[in-house]
């Protein structure tokens, strides 16, 4: 290992701007200016300095610059816990949300540090702002971030203090669309599957209920249920074992919906013949599941871009407002 210029560092200490300056007999500030193409530096000196820096293997010390400039060009993305394999596609927030954030940040020359709420509190990275994905039960996470005094924005439901900047989908409208879908199929005994401690799910249920008022349909059961296929399967299985009947299901996400469908079929019922099911997110699996899943689509990439844009605006000192994004009913077979 570490033979010559292996995968490790060079071995010798890195040269600094002072080293380059000494080598060339100029002031280190001139080196700084030449390398950052900042001020008026004679073309010939700039060229000379750049070549010398290259030859000596110079690398900018980012920590030093960050300290001097009092900014880091870095935004923290805080998730509530590490994504794990058994949560299908890492629900509730998929990679495409991260992708949207990343695309916008990258385009603005900003780095993105991905961290959990615990790590962020314990070993805070150096960042100019924070994007928080999900506000946690009882607002814990948002409160913790708020306490750090950094500009921040949140993905989720707008249940917090009004000055908090939130980007999220119109979950109430999504719930209403789900109600329309099931009502349109003549379903009357409905099941809601989802954890309403989760603000977004709470809104979905509220919209769902609102969409049912005035109809002859009603919710026969509300089951708290994690964002996984296993949880959906188990919840529905238990109900059917107890002889409870229903003919429509609104699941808080697609994974739950898939699990629910499996349980329904395992009990000898058919989807959509006996039970109609609508999920949420229109995740990649929805269109390849059998039956193809009807779902409420959220536009994750755009949501991510909005989050990134807004936190950058906050960092720049601009005025920023919250944003509710439209959702869309995708009708398939279920």
18 binds, among its own copies, DNA, none (CB under 5 to 8 A by kind): DNA
* Interacting residues of 68 by C-beta distance below 8 A, sequence separation 6+: none
Name the DSSP letter for residue 334.
-
Q: Contacting its own copies (CB under 8 A), which of 270, 284, 316, 326?
A: 284
What is the Cα 131 distance to its own chain's centre?
8
Minimum separation from the CB atom of position 255 to DNA (A): 43
- Give the nearer residue to DNA in terms of CB position, either 47 or 238: 47
Build a one-symbol-per-residue string for 87-126: x at contacts with its own copies by CB under 8 A, - elsewhere. -xxx---xxx-xx--xx--x--xxxxxxxx-xx--xxxxx
16 forms part of the interface with its own copies (CB under 8 A): no
Build a one-symbol-per-residue string for 8-27: x at contacts with DNA by CB under 7 A, - elsewhere. -----xx-xxx------xxx
Question: DSSP strand E in the chain: where?
Answer: 74-79, 111-116, 129-133, 152-155, 166-169, 189-193, 218-223, 248-251, 276-281, 294-297, 323-325, 328-330
197 forms part of the interface with DNA (CB under 7 A): no
213 binds, among its own copies, DNA, none (CB under 5 to 8 A by kind): none
Build a one-symbol-per-residue string for 70-89: x at contacts with DNA by CB under 7 A, - elsewhere. x-------------------
* Interacting residues of 120 by C-beta distance below 8 A, sequence separation 6+: 76, 78, 130, 144, 145, 148
**Where in 45-64 is the site for its own copies (CB under 8 A)?**
57, 59-64
Q: In what helix (H) or strand (E) does residue 255 lie, and over which residues does it extend?
A: helix 254-266
Angle between helices 171-184 and 199-212 (to 10 degrees): 40
Q: In what helix (H) or strand (E) does residue 142 lie, and over which residues does it extend?
A: helix 140-148
148 forms part of the interface with its own copies (CB under 8 A): yes
Minimum separation from the CB atom of position 58 to DNA (A): 7
φ, ψ at 233 (rounded to 5°): -65, -45
Name the DSSP letter for residue 287.
G
Minimum separation from the CB atom of position 237 to DNA (A): 54
Question: DSSP strand E in 90-134: where?
Answer: 111-116, 129-133
- Give the nearer residue to DNA in terms of CB position, either 35 or 119: 35
Exposed (0-12), middle (13-18) or buried (19+): which is 23, by Cβ within 10 Å? Answer: middle
Minimum separation from the CB atom of position 270 to its own copies (A): 15
32 binds, among DNA, its own copies, none (CB under 5 to 8 A by kind): DNA
The structure tokens listed for 284 are: 């990649």
Name the DSSP letter for residue 138.
G
The structure tokens listed for 149 are: 């005094």
Q: Segment near DNA (CB under 7 A), from 58-66, 84-92, 159-167, 292-300?
A: 58-66
Q: Segment near DNA (CB under 7 A), from 67-75, 231-239, 290-298, 306-314?
A: 67-75
Q: Which chain residues interact with DNA by CB under 7 A? A: 13-14, 16-18, 25-30, 32-33, 35-36, 38-42, 45, 60-61, 64-65, 67-70
């Amino acid at each position: 290992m570490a033979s010559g210029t292996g995968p490790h560092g060079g071995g010798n200490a890195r040269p600094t701007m002072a080293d380059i300056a000494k080598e060339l007999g100029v002031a280190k500030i001139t080196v700084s200016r030449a390398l950052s193409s900042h001020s008026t530096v004679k073309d010939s000196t700039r060229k000379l300095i750049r070549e010398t820096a290259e030859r000596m293997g110079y690398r900018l010390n980012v920590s030093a610059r960050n300290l001097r400039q009092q900014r880091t060009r870095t935004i923290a993305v805080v998730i509530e816990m590490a994504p794990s394999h058994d949560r299908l596609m890492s629900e509730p927030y998929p990679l495409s949300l991260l992708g949207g954030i990343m695309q916008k940040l990258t385009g603005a020359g900003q780095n993105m540090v991905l961290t959990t709420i615990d790590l962020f509190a314990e070993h805070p990275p150096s960042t100019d702002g924070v994007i928080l994905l999900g506000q946690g039960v009882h607002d814990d996470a948002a409160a913790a971030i708020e306490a750090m005094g950094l500009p921040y924005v949140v993905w989720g439901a707008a249940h917090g203090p009004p000055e908090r900047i939130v980007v999220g989908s119109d979950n109430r409208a999504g719930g209403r669309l789900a109600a329309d879908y099931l009502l349109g199929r003549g379903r009357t005994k409905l099941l809601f599957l989802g954890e309403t401690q989760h603000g977004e799910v709470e809104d979905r249920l509220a919209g769902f209920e609102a969409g049912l008022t005035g109809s002859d349909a009603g919710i026969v059961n509300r089951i708290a249920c994690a964002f996984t296929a296993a949880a959906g399967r188990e919840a529905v299985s238990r109900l059917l074992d107890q002889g409870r009947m229903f003919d429509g299901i609104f699941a808080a996400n697609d994974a739950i919906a898939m699990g629910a469908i499996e349980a329904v079929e395992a009990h000898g019922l058919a989807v959509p013949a006996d039970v109609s099911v609508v999920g949420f997110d229109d995740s990649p699996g929805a269109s390849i599941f059998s039956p193809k899943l009807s779902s409420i689509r959220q536009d994750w990439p755009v949501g991510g871009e909005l989050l990134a844009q807004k936190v950058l605006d906050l960092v720049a000192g601009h005025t920023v407002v919250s944003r509710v994004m439209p959702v869309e009913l995708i009708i398939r077979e279920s």
